[in-house]
Structure 1
Amino acid sequence: MAGVWRCMLATMIVLCVCLWGSSEAVGGAKSRPRPQRRPPKKPKVDSVDVIPPAENIDIERMTGTWYLLNVASKCSYLINHGTRVEPTVMSLSRSSPSEQTLSVSTKTRHDHQCWEILQLYQITPTPGRLTLKGARPELNTEIVIGETDYSSYAVMYYHKRGKITIKLYGRSVDNLSEPVLTKFEQLAEKQDLGLAYLFPFPTYSHCRDVDQDHVINCIPTC
């Protein structure tokens, strides 16, 4: 009988030791959490809200013809096809000084045919700021006229879904000075758009007449 009790006592001691050891492992020493990998740091991109437009922008003086000369962008289309961009010309018009929209006609070539893209920029209460409305508010493109002298060049910022594209326009294809081109490169660099993201556009063979079948209303991807 005594042997049976000793056997039972030994079994209980072993059981207690096992339970104590498991509880120590759970409630005692705590395991450290696994280190989590930090998300990659996104390059700093200023919203156009913090990019001031040129002072006292006169939207009437912005109307007329503008030739696209250079683009700074991380747009995937330009990165993949930037060496095959086509000459592009933009025309701005306004039906009356009281009209709160700016009509935009962009002519370019696609598949060896001339196309015209028609858009409406909404004029905001802040001079030099425009909005191209998308299908939903989060798809709007905010536009800032950053710098211009009206007669030779204009730098325009396009902000959509956290990405900025900067475009350099000229009144003609051959009257831009080297300081203007250098200034454009410096403005692009401030938005983390170095030389690898600059895409010069051809300055010859621009589209003029366009068939009605090639007139479309759409929002550009860049």
Structure 2
Amino acid sequence: MAGVWRCTLMVLALMCVYLCGSSEAVGGAKSRPRPQRRPRKKPKVEPIDVTPPAQNINMQQMGGTWFLLNSASKCSYLMKHGTKVEPTVISLTPPSGPVQTVAISTKTRINHQCWEIQQVYHQTATPGRLTLKGPRPELNTEIVIGETDYTSYAVLYYQKMGKMTMKLYGRSVDNLSEPVLAKFETLAEKQGLGLAFLFPFPTYSHCGTVDQDHVLNCVPTC
């Protein structure tokens, strides 16, 4: 009789093990979720990329002398020394022949002496868009001629390492109208450069002839 009970208990134990194992296999098993692909990051759009150049820009008409009248920037140098900026004038030499570069000569005072900064802007496939090449591609300065009538004013955008600077140039220091100044302020505001980031430049005592010892081939900070 004891043997019968022992066999009965063993059968019940096996049935319990089977039933428990079956319930875990069916009800307890969890399917692994399929790995989800991470959404692709949207390409970063720089302000300069959405700043169209003036229509049908003519670099030949841009040639000549331009006086820097106003600048809009968060450049650290201007933020610290914006009230001490020096009169600045540039000479733009448009491309000639097969050479598709624009020569820029900037004259200003550094430590109370007149200096000339010589640069070369490279034209791109888009008229009115230029590149000032740095030591490495990530240090390039992208330039857009945003507004100009060739004879009185020009608004240029400069972007380097994601930071934007805008400059207002005039053919003369005397005949710039209030509407043009207001337009520049409005364009600067659209780039997040309000009145606190505007730095007017002096309209007198510009540098003339510069000694060869005071000629630089470099990229200004702002």
Change (3 A) 1:95 1:130: closer
Residue 76 (1) aligns with residue 76 (2): yes
The residue aligned with 2:93 is 93
Cα separation, 1, equivalents of 2:193 and 2:171: 24
Q: Which runs of 4+ in 1 moved over 4 A?
A: none
RMSD value, Cα: 1.1
Q: Report the alpha carbon displacement of residue 97 of structure 1 after superposing the two structures with TM.
A: 4.2
Aligned length: 178
Cα separation, 2, equivalents of 1:97 and 1:152: 27
The residue aligned with 1:192 is 192
Cα separation, 2, equivalents of 1:83 and 1:191: 22
Cα separation, 1, equivalents of 2:195 and 2:50: 23
| One-letter amino acid of the structure 2 residue matched with residue 201 of structure 1 | F
The residue aligned with 2:117 is 117
Contact 1:70 1:200 in 2 (8 A): yes
Contact 1:60 1:97 in 2 (8 A): no
The residue aligned with 2:203 is 203
Cα separation, 1, equivalents of 2:66 and 2:97: 20
Contact 1:46 1:191 in 2 (8 A): no
Structure 2 residue runs of 5 or longer lacking an equivalent are 1-44
Q: Report the alpha carbon displacement of residue 95 of structure 1 after superposing the two structures with TM.
A: 5.3
Residue 62 (1) aligns with residue 55 (2): no
TM normalised by structure 1 equals 0.79
Contact 2:143 2:156 in 1 (8 A): yes
Cα separation, 2, equivalents of 1:132 and 1:168: 18
Cα separation, 2, equivalents of 1:210 and 1:220: 18
Contact 1:157 1:166 in 2 (8 A): yes
Give a deviation string over 1:157-186, Cα, whole Å, max 9, x none.
Answer: 001111100000000001110000000000
Cα separation, 2, equivalents of 1:46 and 1:72: 17
Contact 2:121 2:132 in 1 (8 A): yes
Cα separation, 2, equivalents of 1:137 and 1:120: 15
Q: Report the alpha carbon displacement of residue 110 of structure 1 after superposing the two structures with TM.
A: 1.2
Q: Report the alpha carbon displacement of residue 125 of structure 1 after superposing the two structures with TM.
A: 1.2
The residue aligned with 1:130 is 130
Q: Report the alpha carbon displacement of residue 111 of structure 1 after superposing the two structures with TM.
A: 1.3
Cα separation, 1, equivalents of 2:112 and 2:52: 38
Residue 154 (1) aligns with residue 154 (2): yes
Change (3 A) 1:95 1:182: closer
3-state DSSP of counterpart to 2:213: helix
Contact 2:54 2:146 in 1 (8 A): yes
Give a deviation string over 1:101-134, Cα, whole Å, max 9, x none.
Answer: 0000000011111000000000111000000000
Change (3 A) 1:98 1:208: same
The residue aligned with 2:53 is 53
Q: Report the alpha carbon displacement of residue 46 of structure 1 after superposing the two structures with TM.
A: 4.7
Larger radius of gyration: 2
Give a deviation string over 1:134-162, Cα, whole Å, max 9, x none.
Answer: 00000000000000000000000001111
Cα separation, 1, equivalents of 2:162 and 2:145: 18
Cα separation, 2, equivalents of 1:137 and 1:112: 33
3-state DSSP of counterpart to 2:206: coil
| One-letter amino acid of the structure 1 residue matched with residue 66 of structure 2 | W
TM normalised by structure 2 equals 0.79
The residue aligned with 2:107 is 107
Cα separation, 1, equivalents of 2:95 and 2:58: 15
Change (3 A) 1:59 1:95: closer
